[in-house]
Structure 1
């Protein structure tokens, strides 16, 4: 029998006081964390001195998307009329995936466009969005590599011309990109009623803003270059027309997408997609043009650098003469160093070879040493077994009458055959892409071969196909295309030219695979991002590349100095959309911050600042066997993001056997290095999250649910109209620090900041580490304090809450004390508040107990 202590029920009371300044410690046994720390901390975040309620969320779109499962999202910020686009990937019940767009300004609620921006290919995986140079968004899903720049892309080239053949071109490219419409910065349409808009990718419309409008009845026709000619677009709608007059007002000229038909066009030293417009009558002045290119597979546009030939051989009567050195060196008329082609007959030819496929070859002829005979040019390429004539040949070396080829310096261009139709070959001991040129008659000869002479030869490469990749990222102003899984090269990374999202050729790019990067063995890359930090006096920018079980980094500015480092052979990333970057303070150096990358590994959350890879501790129970274990087979569905406003990292996990959707929301306070939970209503957990920014530079988080709705997080005091339940529960403790004693709690006191919403604080006591307990109700009454509304020490029924209006209270804090009769060896307390209209809601300050020892030896 337990010993009765002196005094019994009338023994001396002792007091204990606590603040709410502990931390949630889910990995520890509750008997080890005491009453100062928390066994449960839900919807309450840390402050410097206590805890306070989190905000809930509000919906952006009232109408759910047709594809309800929102998997990922991104924001495109522009400097155009539509300043922000929010894009999401959403999946339907059959697995079909589409991209939807919302143009509502951040963070206002508004609907998505009904028609999808893009319907992804069958079998497409998770959409991995990334910023891309030039104000674009890149998207990779394992089946396609896509790009989009909004509906108002910069116009890459703009010319007025006198006819459909492009005669008398006048370049107004800079003028039409000037939104100020200053004097002289406009393109006059009238004397030259044709104008040519050029783009780095195929279009479905152009936006026109006018300085002066057209007063004459007229029509506007539009054509697209399809490889051999300009062809009329389909579905033309001219929104610049009014009262039968084209170019009579600002508007968009719309037409059906030309992604499948448009081809790049050689014009005035450019090689871009071209759209020819003709105003039938009248005149107008255009001061601004922007382009509407649909979301589409990435393309590879010429970088603007002419290529040098590796072979130039002239065959004269079956004998080849090598002029390779001569045509790679520019000379002049006084000291000509040239390929002498005079006297070549129709049965002779020239072979020119390059290291890349070509779409054009440029001849610079020695002045005065040109062909003057009427003849035509033929260009052929090697198809792997025979020479084949190119299609769509345009000979820019012809005279103005068009009868004499090689009569002037110029460019001969053609429609490059599709990849797979043209092959490299080995000739003259050199392997490359070969082109055979011949003329229909004898080239003009001269004394001692001083007739037709070619001084300099350069080439313009053909477009290369951009492959399908698993994900895209940015590094050093480049778009990095990572994980060529379709080609069984999951460790491969290709990259664009710096600051050029549509250029994947040239020495500073991956050159169609010639300079691709390969990270480790053949296992797939799953995620990557750029990190920027200072170490000592040096500033470094690195690219972090992650596999499921390995970590790599890439350092360098250009392909010639790129270097890959194997950071960790055992830790990688199992959930690609948990990778996020954050700026945090560096311990030991006040005021110094570093950018860190945070992601989920197989064993939990880790961080990396470019030097040290560290475990973020505190939630290991979710990665060990037990009731809290994540479903490892569904970990790819985990999501994570950084909330810069609160300096918190959010992690969504699928917890429990067979669970595939995220049902656990963990938040790590990066300043205080502590965790807490967010718990929305069942079935309404976010399943994705990403950061957006408004025009004032304020950042917030948007999150997608699987009911077709996008939510704004940390907005509003409820879960979109449902109560926000805030819970903190302490650990278990022996009140007199003696495990042999049983103690009784006789009174409990709670202090908190006053709030205006009527509410009830529900307090539960749990003795001897049991799961359930007895409830005590604290409600606000007429005396402006929390009181127990009955004299009994145990109250099971919650009394209706009254208004805790700060305007009626006599102080900014409220306090309550109540009698209790809690007996136990250990004691645990749970505080719970439900609100739905109060910012920060429950803001406790402190609490205390009066207790006494009852028995010993129990």
Structure 2
């Protein structure tokens, strides 16, 4: 009896279960295909294009990174390989000949974990503290103007930080027209430039800026290229003298000694030597000289050959002041810790110059730990009066001016001792109004305990000093450079709790009554231990990989991702035993934390509320770089509500988690994880796999040594394995410069490619290589949804597929689970060509007699094929197959 059957390819792929047990529409094998849509069908995967055609280096790409500054829109693309990080010349989706250049920083040899926290890119590589970069022009972290208010030099700080970093056009710093004023710009890391975005009022006077960096405890002048300079409007030269040096007459020139005049336009014989830049020597307001000997020249004729003269003006236009980065040191100014740069001027600016935006430039570097600007209360205080130690801890730590420590009349044998919970770099003294020191007595020494003796902390800035001869004149902070100083904790007979101790002395007897109502300190940030990764959580930078506390996350201060000191930073509670945390991912409003054998959920909003919930005690993670979170929802995790899930690779398979419990989702590809199977991932590679997400196709890609395992997390199904012409070592889902989602991948031999682009794979020579794709059906018998029953004859086969302009499919039959297939070609291979139509329905005739069951395989080479269903004709004999 002849029967016709139609089978829609709407089932799933299962390479693990017996092919005879798979439901209708399922696949048991295949290569390089994905589902056409949620309702079924199979099609060839897309190819790739080279991002660059010249090899970076003969090494595998370890990781890809994409960073966009949230407010500047500053876009960058990086590749990590062979301990270096390379910055792309062409940003996706643009291509080029070369990838780019090394940023010069040494990273680890393991793939970095990275995140954008507030506005900076942070990377953990396990080799040192976090790497940090802010793009081409991150905002400065401090902008101060020190104005000459009293007429005797710069004496009053005005903080313009907010106005120069709020990215608004209607707020700005307004500068004064005083040559004694100073500007201070703070960079979070050692800088190589400052960018000024000026407002509607710019400088028009002849002024030159000098920039200095804080180095070795002093301001050091830098050699600067100043792009904020612009030439003033040229004026005609009034006169030139025949003299040595040449005298120039320019009524009301407004220049000062040593500035540069730019002379141009002179064509008269001899006098052309003056064209160009000339350093001037000031004579008076209407004349100056230039160092050119014109005594042998003919008389200058201004009426017939006037020439022009102008001068360079700093802060006259938007631009940069740049220099070569050096050994800069951190400094504290007005509550800001960072790398400060001083700008002084040799003359007064135009009145009310506006600085709308101030940005800095620094290379990718190891992050320096900093103070967040919040003073901490000391742990203990003693006054030594030359005879005994008096305890004033309670009186200087309660924020009330009515209780205090009186150091009045204390002399050169007295000390104020303070204890801190951490090394410090400054001590703040609150002086009660009306009870200040009025005598010539100054703080002369800050000392710290190094384990066996008191040591001089070195030079310091005394914020309690009146600028003349007295300390403790007003409230202020005494700040010193604590770098390189070894401070050890100790106890005293009268204080049994260990702490870091410091003492302060002065050089003469103080006024009879000097009241200190409060003492606090500036913590000195310690260098961070090697960090494996960084992640943003509730406005904090959370890191993992700490060798001292491997089972805890370390968190920064709120909104200060580079501050890991003070009471607002610290460590979370321990998570399980001392096995290290391997990776962390954002999940809803919490963090998922993976260890080797456990998974935790970190919750909370602040250090006081941070807490962990263990969600798995037997499932951990094998390959940290395979953990990803998808937020399009998964219908299998909760029947009534599509939820976000985390996906990762364990030793025994792929797991998904919706926040409740992990579920293994890899049974259809279990042969890659079962060590009894030939396809099992080698034990040496099971813990160093990588994975990436394809958001456009709802896919999770697990990278193997010679291919990919692809999981559609929206439909909860796996695809037959993918094989690319060039092996992928890492992948990244990113937004291109056009704001669309794209997938990029690193290859094993130093190239980066764009995936899902074109119909062919490009090899490293940029040669097109066809994509060989195939699908292999389940085992089919005469009763469509049953296992093999009656013997039969397979006669005809048709398919429904997308029509193409050219090309055909090869069809193979595997009777009775034969190990190799027989190619069917009667009357010919299935042509997919059907001009004027979108659907092709080619067929084949054959005669496969006396078989119990069969499988069909459809193969293409280089075709963009898309198959929806098949139709086949059977002649059932009506006899059972009995073995």
TM-score by length of 1: 0.84
CA contact (8 A) 2:615 2:659 kept: no
1:665 pairs, out of 708, 717, 720, with 708
Which residue number corresponds to residue 536 of structure 1? none
CA–CA distance in 1 between the matches of 2:394 and 2:71? 49
Which residue number corresponds to residue 788 of structure 1? none
Cα offset for 1:593? Answer: 2.9
Alignment of 1:87 with 2:70, yes or no, is no
Which residue number corresponds to residue 235 of structure 2? none
CA contact (8 A) 2:20 2:788 kept: no
CA–CA distance in 1 between the matches of 2:169 and 2:692? 42
1:60 pairs, out of 42, 46, 51, with 51
1:646 pairs, out of 679, 691, 697, with 697
Which residue number corresponds to residue 583 of structure 2? 527
Secondary structure at the residue paired with 1:314?
strand
Alignment of 1:754 with 2:803, yes or no, is yes
Which residue number corresponds to residue 119 of structure 1? 105
Secondary structure at the residue paired with 2:719?
strand
Alignment of 1:686 with 2:746, yes or no, is no
CA contact (8 A) 1:134 1:501 kept: no
CA contact (8 A) 2:114 2:534 kept: yes
1:442 pairs, out of 480, 485, 509, with 509
CA contact (8 A) 1:735 1:827 kept: no
1:36-47 equivalence runs, <5 A: 36-46=25-35, 47=37
Q: 1:357 to 1:165 in 2, by over 3 A?
A: farther
Which residue number corresponds to residue 780 of structure 2? 733
CA contact (8 A) 1:187 1:287 kept: no
Q: Which whole-Å deviations, capped at 9, do the CAs of 1:272-313 have from their partners, x for residues lacking one?
A: 321112344555543221122322222222122212122222
Secondary structure at the residue paired with 1:611?
coil
CA–CA distance in 1 between the matches of 2:774 and 2:556? 50
2:498 pairs, out of 413, 431, 434, with 431
Which residue number corresponds to residue 22 of structure 2? 33
CA contact (8 A) 1:607 1:615 kept: yes
Secondary structure at the residue paired with 2:328?
coil
1:307 pairs, out of 376, 401, 408, with 376
Secondary structure at the residue paired with 1:818?
strand
Which residue number corresponds to residue 674 of structure 1? 717
Q: 1:265 to 1:156 in 2, by over 3 A?
A: same
Which residue number corresponds to residue 355 of structure 1? 421
Which residue number corresponds to residue 870 of structure 2? 847
Q: 1:663 to 1:815 in 2, by over 3 A?
A: same
Alignment of 1:470 with 2:540, yes or no, is no
CA contact (8 A) 1:341 1:443 kept: yes
Which residue number corresponds to residue 563 of structure 1? 611
2:562 pairs, out of 477, 487, 502, with 502
Alignment of 1:18 with 2:7, yes or no, is yes
Cα offset for 1:723? Answer: 1.9
Q: 1:585 to 1:607 in 2, by over 3 A?
A: closer
1:56-205 equivalence runs, <5 A: 56-66=47-57, 68-91=59-82, 97-102=83-88, 104-110=90-96, 114-120=100-106, 124-162=109-147, 167-182=155-170, 187=175, 191=179, 194-205=182-193
Secondary structure at the residue paired with 1:572?
coil
CA–CA distance in 1 between the matches of 2:602 and 2:70? 32
Which residue number corresponds to residue 535 of structure 1? none
CA contact (8 A) 1:134 1:500 kept: no
CA–CA distance in 1 between the matches of 2:6 and 2:635? 34
CA contact (8 A) 1:80 1:152 kept: no
TM-score by length of 2: 0.82
Which residue number corresponds to residue 439 of structure 2? 373
CA contact (8 A) 1:35 1:730 kept: no
Which residue number corresponds to residue 280 of structure 2? none
1:257 pairs, out of 289, 313, 325, with 325
Secondary structure at the residue paired with 1:635?
coil
1:713 pairs, out of 751, 755, 758, with 755
Cα offset for 1:581? Answer: 0.2
Comparing 597-606 with 170-179, greater Cα deviation is found at 170-179
Q: 1:226 to 1:491 in 2, by over 3 A?
A: same
User: Structure 1 stretches of 5 or more lacking a match?
Assistant: 1-11, 92-96, 446-450, 533-540, 654-661, 778-791
Q: Which whole-Å deviations, capped at 9, do the CAs of 1:90-128 have from their partners, x for residues lacking one?
A: 12xxxxx1111236444333577633124326x653322
Q: 1:590 to 1:226 in 2, by over 3 A?
A: same
CA contact (8 A) 1:701 1:713 kept: yes
Comparing 492-501 with 207-216, greater Cα deviation is found at 207-216
2:854 pairs, out of 802, 827, 831, with 827
CA contact (8 A) 2:112 2:123 kept: no
Which residue number corresponds to residue 472 of structure 2? 406
Q: 1:35 to 1:309 in 2, by over 3 A?
A: closer
CA–CA distance in 1 between the matches of 2:482 and 2:796? 88
Secondary structure at the residue paired with 2:425?
strand
CA contact (8 A) 2:798 2:870 kept: yes
CA RMSD of aligned residues (A): 2.9
Comparing 818-827 with 359-368, greater Cα deviation is found at 818-827
Which residue number corresponds to residue 661 of structure 2? 612
Which residue number corresponds to residue 623 of structure 1? 673
CA contact (8 A) 2:33 2:722 kept: no
CA contact (8 A) 1:390 1:417 kept: no
CA contact (8 A) 2:27 2:775 kept: yes
Secondary structure at the residue paired with 2:101?
coil
Q: 1:391 to 1:113 in 2, by over 3 A?
A: farther
CA–CA distance in 2 between the matches of 1:588 and 1:294? 45
Cα offset for 1:26? Answer: 0.5
CA contact (8 A) 1:300 1:464 kept: yes
Which residue number corresponds to residue 228 of structure 2? 240
Which residue number corresponds to residue 9 of structure 1? none
Cα offset for 1:635? Answer: 1.8
Q: Which whole-Å deviations, capped at 9, do the CAs of 1:618-655 have from their partners, x for residues lacking one?
A: 211111222211112112331112222222211112xx
Cα offset for 1:442? Answer: 0.9
Q: 1:740 to 1:649 in 2, by over 3 A?
A: closer
Cα offset for 1:154? Answer: 1.9
1:525-604 equivalence runs, <5 A: 525-532=581-588, 541-583=589-631, 584-587=633-636, 592-604=641-653
CA contact (8 A) 1:102 1:110 kept: no
CA–CA distance in 2 between the matches of 1:371 and 1:33? 92
Q: 1:705 to 1:436 in 2, by over 3 A?
A: same
1:282-361 equivalence runs, <5 A: 283=350, 285-332=354-401, 336-361=402-427
